[in-house]
Amino acid sequence: MRSGFVAVAGRPNVGKSTLVNALCGGKVAIVSDKPQTTRRRIHGIATGDTYQLVLADLPGFQRPRDALTEHMQRTVESSFADVDAILFTLSARERIGAGDRFIAHRVFALGPPVVIALNKVDRLKAGHIATQMTTASQLGDFHALHPVSAKTGDGVAALRDELVGLLPEGPLYFPEDQRTDLSVEAQVAELIREKALALTRDEVPHAITVEVESIGETSLQADLLVETESQKQILIGRGGSMVKEIGTRARPEIEQLLGRHVFLELRVKVKPRWRRDESMLERLGI
Ligand SMILES: Nc1nc2c(ncn2[C@@H]2O[C@H](COP(=O)(O)OP(=O)(O)OP(=O)(O)O)[C@@H](O)[C@H]2O)c(=O)[nH]1
Ligand SMILES: [Mg+2]
Question: CA-CA distances (angstroms) from residue 249 to 3, 97, 107, 242?
Answer: 36, 36, 37, 11
Once rounded to an integer, what is the mean pLDDT over residues 178-187? 97
Ligand showing the shortest atom-to-Cα distance for residue 16 = 1
39-58 pLDDT, tens digit each:
999 999 999 999 999 999 99
With cut-offs at 50, 70 and 90, classify the pLDDT of residue 62: very high
**Ligand 1 atom, smallest distance to 33 CA:** 27
151: Cα within 13 Å, side-chain hemisphere: 13
**Ligand 1 atom, smallest distance to 35 CA:** 24
pLDDT of the residue at 267: 98
With cut-offs at 50, 70 and 90, classify the pLDDT of residue 236: very high
With cut-offs at 50, 70 and 90, classify the pLDDT of residue 159: very high
pLDDT of the residue at 83: 98
pLDDT of the residue at 11: 98
pLDDT of the residue at 112: 98
Per the DSSP assignment, residues forming a β-bridge with 56 are 7, 43
- b/e sequence 135-166, b meaning 16+ C-beta within 10 Å: ebeebbebebbbbbbbbeeebbeebbebbbeb
pLDDT of the residue at 115: 99
**Ligand 1 atom, smallest distance to 59 CA:** 25
Closest CA to 285 of 211, 197, 208, 202: 211
91 touches ligand 1 (CB under 6 Å): no
13 touches ligand 1 (CB under 6 Å): yes
pLDDT of the residue at 80: 96
Say if CB 162 and CB 115 are below 8 A apart: yes
What's the maximum distance between 2 C-alpha atoms anywhere in the chain? Answer: 57
> pTM of this prediction?
0.98
pLDDT of the residue at 72: 97
259: Cα within 13 Å, side-chain hemisphere: 1
147 touches ligand 1 (CB under 6 Å): no
104: Cα within 13 Å, side-chain hemisphere: 18
Ligand 1, residues 13, 68, 208: which to mutate, most atoms within 8 A of Cβ? 13
Ligand 1, residues 8, 16, 17, 18: which to mutate, most atoms within 8 A of Cβ? 18
Say if CB 286 and CB 72 are below 8 A apart: yes
pLDDT of the residue at 265: 98
32 touches ligand 1 (CB under 6 Å): yes
pLDDT of the residue at 67: 97
With cut-offs at 50, 70 and 90, classify the pLDDT of residue 171: very high
**Ligand 1 atom, smallest distance to 150 CA:** 31
36 touches ligand 1 (CB under 6 Å): yes
Ligand showing the shortest atom-to-Cα distance for residue 10 = 1
Once rounded to an integer, what is the mean pLDDT over residues 278-286? 95
Once rounded to an integer, what is the mean pLDDT over residues 139-167? 98
Q: Distance, CA 17 to ligand 1 centroid (Å)?
A: 7
pLDDT of the residue at 43: 98
86-130 pLDDT, tens digit each:
999 999 999 999 999 999 999 999 999 999 999 999 999 999 999
